[in-house]
Structure 1
Amino acid sequence: MITRIEIDGFKSFVGFAMDVRPCTVLMGVNGAGKSNLLDALDFVRRTVTMGLQGALSGANPRLAARDLFHHADGHGDACTASELTIKIGMLVPSTYGPLPLVVRLGVGRDGTPPDPVRVAWRGGRVWVSSLVHTEWMDRLGLPGQLRAAVAAARKAFLDRNGTDWAQLRGSDAAPGGPRSEGARELLGVLASETATWERIALDPAAMRRPFGGSDELTLLADGSNLSAVLQRLGSGELRDMEADLAALIPEASAIRPVFDHRRGEYDFDVRFRHTGWTSPPMLSDGTMRVLALLAAWYDDRRAGLLAVEEIENGLHPTRIAELVRRLRRDVDDFPDLADRARQVSGFRQLIATTHSPVLLSALYDDPTGSLVFLEQASRVDPARAGISTVTRARPVREPRADEEPGETVTAEQVKRLLEAMGQVIA
């Protein structure tokens, strides 16, 4: 479970920092940096699992080398950041309990667009937090039981392994001696945690086609193996999913996974009260998206982060808030983590981006900071004589005594904004 994101020099982020809660909804207009934030998570995920060159292989076109580094308005090399760093704090389930990990990676730049840009590995590491600084626990409001469990997990890991960090390599072929058992374990835990950081960007057309691949895979980013995931769900999970589907799409009453043995393909049908069983080609985009998000949420093999971009896409405005409420209901909130750490492979967390005023209206009075505005701001860099547009995060909650004015958005401010937009407050 991600608890903190700090980014400098990557895309629209300069000196960016944001606390992350079990359910975090990122609100912002197009271009505010919502997709860039998910790109940062994907960049770390790919670098951890495939090395730097693997992360830049082209599988995600948004991670092209020329687009990674923050660029200011102006001319020449001086207006582009020469380095980027991404640092992410997290709580990870383990045999020791909820383990507090931090991963940090750095990348340097040679060349400036439109000229070819080359990247150089500046180093990276993962470590067990020393817990010397615990302000993040205070900001997130971690309960005492969880704090004690986090400290005990750290101690147990160190007692067993004698080390609390491991170096990340820029590529699989990077030189270096054999790692210690503790370092290998840390890297394995990190790889398992980051495996779910890929955003869900669903393609209804791909989901409508039968799937002929493995039923062992978790939901793919485009949702194309939805039918195989449905086939794998247990009867209990499928019943619960059907109940959620009926609440979101009242006419839907049941889901029937289908396997075509002759063709070796997975498929499914959805039953509607007045029209009976209906195959995917006849389902709306909104229905397909709801099915995929619920399937990913109920699939234990995908336990961890569910990152959804523009969660409102294809959904009727009246269903958006209810979908988020139902996904939010099953996140592993902080009081749950101490007891669940040894039972699960990943803590359930939801990060969703949106620019829907309907969803804003439904969540604006949540005082925890789960709703975060991502906004554009102008930044002047005297050293480079340039002005750039950067992303800043403003959580919706009451400001703390040590915060500057404008660092947060109050519920009353959001209410006035919604009223000015003509939005009915629920």
Structure 2
Amino acid sequence: MFIRSLKLKNILSFREPPQLELGPLNILIGPNGSGKSNVIACVELLQSLPNSISNYLNTWGGASAWLWKGSARGPTARIQCELVVESADGEKDSENVQYLIEFTSLRHALGISTEWLGDQAGAAFLERFDRSLKISTAAEESSISAAASALEVYRNPSDPTPITRTARALNEIRFYKEFRTGMEADTRMGIASSGPKSPLASTGGNLALVMQEMDFQGSVHKLKDYLRRLSPRFEDIKTRAEGGRSQLYLQERGLGMIPATHLSDGTLKFLCLMAVLLDPSPGPLVCIEEPEIGLHPEALALVGDALREASQRTQLLVTTHSDALVDCFTDEPESIIVCERDLDESTCFRRLSTEQLKEWLEDYTLGDLWRRGEIGGTQR
């Protein structure tokens, strides 16, 4: 588990909701506009810190667009989180660190006012107030740009300081929002054989190479098991290199090899999801938005199994509108986090409880209760 808790204030749809406690598997449900995707966006902002938070914010309208709109004055946005990062030597148990960043919009540009990274006991590795920065290993304070994070400026790949280890872990978070399966997409048409073999690209474009690598590592058998459960006609999955491009093929009973160019959108999206969830070496956190898109409801039971299995190796943050997917977690309601708007129109969170739903679950599935409005997360 990478992010143990997340505390948001004055950012996007979050005025100041209670701290969000995260587990290995976290499935966010709620109506459109409730703030599910905004949780993912805040995590993506954290992931941008070791590279360029300024560039990331500018991609989405600039710093001012990220500030809570319920205040007449431009407020100061705040993200505070507890992270689990690997130890310096990679052999000891992982250690927990606390990270905090505050920023606002200064003449339409990003202005970071506070940044802090330290251990659970409160010992600081870095302390920043406006442009003044103190690093625990440095004798003197230094200055820093108002638009740059200390995790970007002071990370050093050759020196595993807490700053570097935190930056590295944040940088390895993966996001999957939309797999591209159109007629000209690399997912369907293939990709240059020299491309990256891992991890799966956010668009799914290197799917053929990822399948090839899974086959090479001997981990593709799990994928084949899931495909057989999806379709009894399935027999094999292969990749071929032709003209410098790698192409994906499926073989069904009684048929020859079917190229990805003639596979359905749903089949390709299912393969992309399995490539993510069955990855033997996932990042510390994988975020997936609406994995149900394009899939038959019966396939979602397999996605639920794969999510549960993947959560043993990595932390998952998933958004969904699918009651069929939520049904998969009837036996573990704690995996579900309900997102709603409160009276101030701020997003608030509520994790479901087995104990509180015990009697309901004797007669209904979790998806049933969601449709009936018994657990919230609806427009009613």
Same fold (TM over 0.5): yes
Q: Work out which of the residue numbers 68, 79, 88 in structure 1 matches 2:72.
A: 79
**Greater CA drift, 352-361 or 308-317:** 352-361
What is the match of residue 390 of structure 1? 346
What is the match of residue 127 of structure 1? 118
CA shift in 2, pair 1:11/1:172, >3 Å: closer
TM superposition score normalised by structure 1 = 0.71
Alpha-carbon distance, 1:22 to partner: 0.5
Residues 1:361 and 2:327 aligned together: yes
Task: Please say if residues 308 and 352 of structure 1, whose CA atoms lie closer than 8 Å, have aligned partners that are also in contact.
Answer: yes
Partners in 1 of 2:154 and 2:80 — Cα distance? 25
Alignment RMSD: 3.4
Q: Secondary structure at the match of 1:374?
A: strand
What is the match of residue 146 of structure 1? none
What is the match of residue 43 of structure 1? 45
**Percent of pairs with identical residues:** 20
User: Any stretches of 5+ residues in structure 2 without a counterpart?
Assistant: 124-135, 374-380
Residues 1:377 and 2:358 aligned together: no
Amino acid at match of 2:31: V
Partners in 1 of 2:162 and 2:245 — Cα distance? 38
Amino acid at match of 2:24: P
Amino acid at match of 1:371: I
Alpha-carbon distance, 1:8 to partner: 0.6
What is the match of residue 306 of structure 2? 326
What is the match of residue 255 of structure 1? 237
User: Any stretches of 5+ residues in structure 1 without a counterpart?
Assistant: 73-77, 112-116, 133-160, 333-346, 380-388, 400-408
After TM superposition, list the pairs within 5 Å mapping 1:269-348 onto structure 2: 269-332=249-312, 348=314
Q: Secondary structure at the match of 2:81?
A: strand
Partners in 1 of 2:360 and 2:42 — Cα distance? 29
Task: Please say if residues 28 and 375 of structure 1, whose CA atoms lie closer than 8 Å, have aligned partners that are also in contact.
Answer: yes
Partners in 2 of 1:7 and 1:50 — Cα distance? 21
Partners in 1 of 2:170 and 2:209 — Cα distance? 23
Q: Secondary structure at the match of 2:291?
A: coil
Q: Secondary structure at the match of 1:378?
A: coil
Q: Secondary structure at the match of 1:364?
A: coil
Alpha-carbon distance, 1:235 to partner: 4.4
**Greater CA drift, 3-12 or 314-323:** 314-323
What is the match of residue 410 of structure 1? 357
Task: Please say if residues 62 and 110 of structure 2, whose CA atoms lie closer than 8 Å, have aligned partners that are also in contact.
Answer: no
Residues 1:227 and 2:227 aligned together: no
Amino acid at match of 1:108: T
Alpha-carbon distance, 1:203 to partner: 1.6
CA shift in 2, pair 1:248/1:56, >3 Å: same
What is the match of residue 109 of structure 1? 105
Partners in 2 of 1:283 and 1:316 — Cα distance? 15
Partners in 2 of 1:124 and 1:182 — Cα distance? 23
CA shift in 2, pair 1:127/1:204, >3 Å: farther
What is the match of residue 349 of structure 1? 315
Q: Secondary structure at the match of 1:303?
A: coil
Residues 1:187 and 2:168 aligned together: no
Task: Please say if residues 248 and 322 of structure 1, whose CA atoms lie closer than 8 Å, have aligned partners that are also in contact.
Answer: yes
Q: Secondary structure at the match of 1:288?
A: helix
Alpha-carbon distance, 1:57 to partner: 4.3
Partners in 2 of 1:274 and 1:302 — Cα distance? 35
Partners in 2 of 1:192 and 1:209 — Cα distance? 33
CA shift in 2, pair 1:359/1:329, >3 Å: same
Residues 1:243 and 2:225 aligned together: yes
Task: Please say if residues 101 and 129 of structure 1, whose CA atoms lie closer than 8 Å, have aligned partners that are also in contact.
Answer: yes
Partners in 2 of 1:210 and 1:173 — Cα distance? 38
Task: Please say if residues 41 and 198 of structure 1, whose CA atoms lie closer than 8 Å, have aligned partners that are also in contact.
Answer: no
Partners in 2 of 1:187 and 1:349 — Cα distance? 21
Residues 169-222 of structure 1: per-residue CA shift (max 9 Å, x gap): 755698x99789998522222223222334202222232121125225521111
What is the match of residue 67 of structure 2? 69
Amino acid at match of 2:56: A
Whose helix fraction is larger, Structure 1's or Structure 2's?
Answer: 1
Q: Secondary structure at the match of 1:5?
A: strand
Q: Work out which of the residue numbers 10, 27, 30 in structure 1 matches 2:29.
A: 27
CA shift in 2, pair 1:70/1:275, >3 Å: farther
Alpha-carbon distance, 1:34 to partner: 0.9
Amino acid at match of 2:100: R
Q: Secondary structure at the match of 2:100?
A: strand
Amino acid at match of 1:65: A
Amino acid at match of 2:352: V
Partners in 2 of 1:32 and 1:107 — Cα distance? 23
TM superposition score normalised by structure 2 = 0.79
Alpha-carbon distance, 1:372 to partner: 0.8
CA shift in 2, pair 1:162/1:122, >3 Å: closer
